[in-house]
Amino acid sequence: MARTAGSSGPRTEEAIRSAGLALIATHGYAAMSLRQLAAEVGIQQGSLYNYFRNKQEFLFDLIRTHMQDLHAALDAALAPEGGDPVERLTRFVEFHVAYHVERPQQVFICYSELRSLEPDNLAAVVAMRRDYERKLSDILDAGRAAGVFRLDDVRMATLAILAMLSGICTWYKPGGRLAKDAVREIFLGMVLALARGEVPAEAVEAAPPPALSRRNGVARAGAA
C-alpha cells in the first residue's frame, strides 16, 4: 500500500491504526510484526516509533481507545441520567448490539488479545471494563429498587447479559438469515425477560465465546 504523498501526521497515524487492527484481527498480535505493519502502511519501520514506543504500547493504545470510545458512546446513548429503568435498559441493549456489530475488529481484539497485554496495561483495561459493567449494574439496581426488575443477584445478571450480547461478535454476519434489527429485538426480549425474573440469570450461557477462527479480519463461529 503506497503512502499518499504529503500525508500528514494524523493521517499516517490513522492509517497505522487501521492497518494494525486488520493485521491483528487476521493474524493475531503475536504473529504481527512491526515490519509487516510498516509495509502495509507504506512507510519505513523506524517511522512507526514517531507514533508509539513499541508493539505493546501500540496494542494497549488500540484497546484503550476502543474502551474510551465505548464508554463515551454509551454515555451519549443513555443521556440524560435517571429516568425509567426499562427504557434505559432498552437503550443499553440497543447500543451494545449496534456497537458490537459495527466494530467487529475492535471488539474482537479487545476480547481476544487481553492475554497479550502486560500486567499494568491489563489492569488498566480491566478497570475500564468493570466501569462499563457498573453502568449496566446501576440500571438493573435502579429497576430492582423500583420494583420493575426481579433479580436476586444483580452482579450475576450483569455478567450474564453482557456475555449473551457480546457473543454477537463471534457469529453475526451481515447479509445472513437475520438482519441487525431483528437480532436486536430478539436480544432485547431475552434481556427484559431476564431482568423481570422470567428467566433466571443462571440459565443464560455465561461461558467464554467458542473457539474463534480468523477469516477476513473478523471472528466467526457461525452465521445468523
Q: Do 212 and 149 belong to one domain?
A: yes
- Torsion angles phi and psi, residue 108, rounded to 5: -60, -45
Residues 167 and 97 in one domain: yes
Residues 93 and 15 in one domain: no
Residues 33, 124, single domain; the answer is no
The C-alpha atoms of residue 32 and residue 20 are separated, in whole angstroms, by 8
pTM for the model stands at 0.82
Grid coordinates 504523498 are at which residue?
5
Please tell me the distance from the alpha carbon of residue 101 to that of residue 172, in angstroms, as a whole number. Answer: 7
140 shares its domain with 151: yes
CATH number at residue 146: 1.10.357.10
What pLDDT shows up at residue 168?
85
1 and 89 share one domain: no
Domain coverage including residue 3 = 1-51
Output the DSSP codes for 120-172.
HHHHHHHHHHHHHHHHHHHHHHHHHHHTS---S-HHHHHHHHHHHHHTHHHH-
61 and 33 in one domain? Answer: no
Q: Considering only CA atoms, which of 75, 63, 164 is closest in space to residue 123?
A: 63
- Across the range 7-26, mean pLDDT stands at 89
Split at pLDDT 50, 70, 90, the class of 176 is confident
Domain count for the chain? 2
pLDDT digits (tens, 9 = 90+) for 25-82: 999 999 999 999 999 999 999 999 999 999 999 999 999 999 999 999 999 999 988 7
Residues 133 and 210 in one domain: yes
What CATH number has the domain bearing residue 32? Answer: 1.10.10.60
CA–CA gap between residue 94 and residue 191 (Å, rounded): 11
Angle of the 104-112 helix axis to the 85-102 helix axis, nearest 10: 90
Task: Examine the domain organization and report whether 83 and 126 are in the same domain.
Answer: yes
Contact 206, 159 (CB under 8 A): yes
Residues 98 and 35 both lie in one domain: no
Query: Are 98 and 133 within one domain?
Result: yes
What is the rounded CA–CA span in Å between residue 129 and residue 120? 14
